[in-house]
A and B are shown apart, each in its own frame.
Chain A
Amino acid sequence: DIVMTQSPDSLAVSLGERATISCKSSQSILYSSNNKNYLAWYQQKPGQPPKLLIYWASTRESGVPDRFRGSGSGTDFTLTISSLQAEDVAVYYCHQYYSTPYTFGQGTKLEIK
């Protein structure tokens, strides 16, 4: 199984400041034939299902604000929120869909400082 490890487990950032979440996979999730990283980021608010933010490691889903940016390749990935808004308080998960069993990170809880 591909293990996804996020850091930190929790994060407190001031409004308007940058938030950065890291995700590492235990093996590369870059598919060489198409040069795509099979990595997605989800945002989950209490009582709601996960919402897809980023796929292919860096492609924003339609309607997602451009303050959310995904980057990285191979085994190391980052989700950056450039200017934290109050509505960004949530738990964030990375997810690999390179191979089954699909796996998720343990989640990072983002709060306002």
Chain B
Amino acid sequence: KAGVTQTPRYLIKTRGQQVTLSCSPISGHRSVSWYQQTPGQGLQFLFEYFSETQRNKGNFPGRFSGRQFSNSRSEMNVSTLELGDSALYLCASSTTGFAGELFFGEGSRLTVL
């Protein structure tokens, strides 16, 4: 069974630009969550989607948005990039079964210059 796939793995942007990250969950998983990982703040929850609906959102500004498609694939978008947005963005998928048993992708490492 294929794991969670995130693209691109690495990208460099400049301040003010926007970026879109993609996540393909494990087949059959309907929940997709996004986390931001930085050395200073650690792992922080961004949002979670289930069946194309955002069920929960973390404490991030409106520049961070996401969506989920009917095939459960998800994208997240960050507009007007700031230096502080440099981070590893991790996507995780799960079934509706065990709460919190998330399967993570390898992440998309964003560098903002």
A and B associate in one complex: no
Q: Which A residues have a C-beta under 8 Å from some C-beta of B?
A: none
Q: Which B residues have a C-beta under 8 Å from some C-beta of A?
A: none
